[in-house]
């Protein structure tokens, strides 16, 4: 996998990384399930900041091109980006069911729950 970044082009480095990895995935050079190098390794090899690589990876994940699995690393997502989104929505629904159940057992009301959620969301 080749990543070439330019310091003299006006484009921020993290954008260059995103663009190149996207291109590699879309063209099929990186197949579904391919394990990407870790953010730190990429930072080290390219001699850039970890913050940059982290930002690039986070953006790629947001757009559904890669999936980060804690403890294992980041993997190229299937071309069917819609499918991934669906999976993640399903997971969120399941987590929500759990939360509602727990809220019920300690008598937490819906508006309190929503407030908690807002606070935590804003804190991110």
Partner 1 sequence: MEYALKLENVSKSYKDFTLDNINISLPYGSIMGFVGENGSGKTTTIKLILDLIKRDSGIITILGQDNVDNKNIKQLKEHIGVVMDESCFPEMLTLMEVNKVLKNIYKTWDERKFGTLAKQFSLHKNKKIKDYSKGMKMKLSIAIALAHDAKILILDEATSGLDPLVRDEILDVFRDFIQNDRHSIFMTSHIISDLEKICDYITLIHNGKIILNKSTDELIDNYGILKCSEADFKTITPTAVKGFRKNAFGVEALVIKKEIKGDFVVDKASIENIMVYSIKEARCNESTNH
Q: Which is nearer to partner 1, 12 or 33 (CB)?
A: 12
Out of 1, 32, 40, 112, the residue judged to bind partner 1 by CB under 8 A: 40
To the nearest whole angstrom, how small is the minimum distance from the Cβ of residue 21 to partner 1? 17
Task: Decide if 35 contacts 75 (C-beta within 8 A).
Answer: yes
Q: Give CA–CA dist 104/87, Å, rounded.
A: 26
DSSP assignment letter at 51: H
| Cβ atoms within 10 Å, residue 74 | 22
Tokens of 95: 């987590």
**Using CB under 8 A, which residues numbered 49 to 78 contact partner 1?**
49-52, 55
To the nearest whole angstrom, how small is the minimum distance from the Cβ of residue 40 to partner 1? 5
Interaction site with partner 1 (CB under 8 A): 7-8, 12-14, 40-41, 43-44, 47, 49-52, 55
């Amino acid at each position: 996998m080749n990543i070439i970044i330019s310091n003299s082009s006006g484009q921020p480095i993290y954008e260059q990384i995103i663009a190149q990895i996207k291109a590699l995935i879309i063209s099929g050079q990186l197949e579904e399930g391919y394990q990407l190098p870790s953010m730190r390794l990429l930072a080290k090899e390219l001699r850039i900041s970890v913050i940059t690589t982290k930002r690039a990876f986070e953006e790629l994940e947001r757009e559904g091109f890669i999936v980060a699995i804690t403890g294992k690393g980041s993997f190229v997502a299937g071309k069917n980006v819609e499918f991934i989104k669906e999976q993640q929505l399903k997971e969120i629904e399941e987590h929500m069911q759990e939360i509602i159940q727990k809220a019920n057992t300690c008598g937490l009301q819906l508006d309190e729950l929503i407030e908690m959620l807002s606070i935590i969301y804003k804190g991110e």
